[in-house]
Every structure is written in structure tokens, then in C-alpha cells.
Structure 1
């Protein structure tokens, strides 16, 4: 997926995440158009959850993804976080072919890394990818 343009990369990640949700028998709803801050909504036991899908890049032992959007207003790039607009990030790693679900409340407002390998420096602030695996989220939600 490295050769794909950003839009194509995003579409492939969306397709991968939607597949993972559907194969777990989760109802997936897509908004008409692209004016919403979320990419899909899932319904679980009558409760709706807004999800923004991101492509994660594997670098330095972690899956890195942006936790804000970039929009262009009057030739100036505006970046804003998703707090209050979504409930979860669904992060697809094409390198690992895995999906991770991150509550927006767990994510900083700029970028986040999900650690898949031991870090050189130990820190209590490491976000381990295994804690955000889609199956763990699925079990917790159901």
C-alpha cells in the first residue's frame, strides 16, 4: 500500500476495517457523502458508536497514526482533533494486516503510536497495540 496515493490508501483501510467489523456480525452504517467527521457508525445492542478510520504506519516498533484531520480553509491548512465528534478510531495497519480500536478519550490530539515491539526506553506512557486489538474491543463491547 506504500505506492498508493493518500485517498486510495484511506479507501483500502476503510474497506479492511469494515470487513473486520462485518465478519464479527457488527452492523455497519455509512453516512451519505463525506461531510461527517466519522467514516462509519456501528450499532451494537441498540447503541451507536461513531468511528473514524485511520491508516497506521509501522515505524520504529509502533503503529503511528494521526488523531486529527487536515482541512484546507482559504489556502491555509487547518488541523483539528476529533474529541466530541467520534467515539473511536479504527486503525488499520497494512504492514501487519491488523485492525485496532482506540477510544477517542485514550488518544492525544495530534498523533498516537501503538507499540508492537519493546521500546529502547521504558516508559509508563506506552500504548501497547495488544490492548487495542479489535477482538479485545469486540469482547468488551458485547
Structure 2
């Protein structure tokens, strides 16, 4: 895989999410358009969940920070827009460094969330969200 190609990274993230969700007992549905605010729909026990998938590598501190916004560039520059949390039921973050998917409801957070693989160097644990607690769909 071309490690710098954004679309290839996104496609890999969606494929990893599909496998992870399937292993958790979900039926996977895909939108018929690339313009939906979600990447796939997971169905289980009579409930549908609209899932937005993100491919995100660990930063230098060993954390995954996800901002609830969309970013794109065009001839007028770079643009940022907050996501509409009413259009997404579940975020799935695929991290290539751990080869794991992490799940959470974006409505539970404000503008961003940070998950950590290991404890910070200062050993703080209060208000720290560890990736191990987010491996299953809530």
C-alpha cells in the first residue's frame, strides 16, 4: 500500500472496521454513495448504527487524538467544518500502529477525544482514556 495515499489509508481503515464489527456480531451495510456522512452501517439486535471510520496513527506521545471535524482543501484553500453528530452514531478509529479498531459515541465528547495506548510519562490516570477500554462497540 502506498503509505502516503490518503484514500488507501481510509479504505484500509474501513476494511479493518468491517472485520472488527463482523467479529462482534454485526451485519455490515455500505452506503451506495461516497457522499454519506458515514462510511458504513452496522446492524445487530434490530438496531442500526451509522459508523464514521478514521485512520489515525499514534502521535509522538503514544496517543490518538480525534477532532470531530471535516477537513478538505480546494482552490480556495483549506477548510474545516464541525461534523454533525446527529448524523453519526459511532466513531471507529483504526490505528495502524496497534492494528486495532477503537469505538465510541461522538455525542459523549465535545470537540475532540484523546485515547492513550499506555499511561503518560507522568503516570497520570485520572481522566485518561485508554484504548483498551474502547475495543468493543459501546
Normalising by the smaller structure, the TM-score range is 0.7 to 0.9
User: Could you tell me which residue of structure 2 aligns to residue 44 of structure 1?
Assistant: 44
Residue deviations 1:79-135, cap 9 Å, x none?
2124111011011111100011111123332x432111111342632222121112x
Query: How far off its partner does 1:47 sit?
Result: 0.9
Specify which of 84, 89, 93 is matched with residue 87 of structure 1. Answer: 89
Instruction: Provide the aligned C-alpha RMSD in A.
Output: 2.2
Query: Which is worse superposed, 69-78 or 123-132?
Result: 69-78
The answer to whether the Cα contact below 8 Å between 2:92 and 2:103 also exists between their aligned partners in 1 is yes
The answer to whether the Cα contact below 8 Å between 2:2 and 2:8 also exists between their aligned partners in 1 is no
Q: TM-score, normalised by structure 2?
A: 0.84
- Please state whether the residue corresponding to 2:88 is helix, strand or coil: coil
User: Gapped runs of 5+ residues in structure 2?
Assistant: none
User: Could you tell me which residue of structure 2 aligns to residue 65 of structure 1?
Assistant: 66
The number of residues matched between the two structures is: 135
Query: How far off its partner does 1:24 sit?
Result: 3.0
User: Could you tell me which residue of structure 2 aligns to residue 27 of structure 1?
Assistant: 27
Matches within 5 A, 1:1-142: 3-59=3-59, 60-71=61-72, 75-76=76-77, 77-109=79-111, 111-121=112-122, 122=124, 124-134=126-136, 137=137
Cα distance in 1 for partners of 2:53, 2:94 equals 8
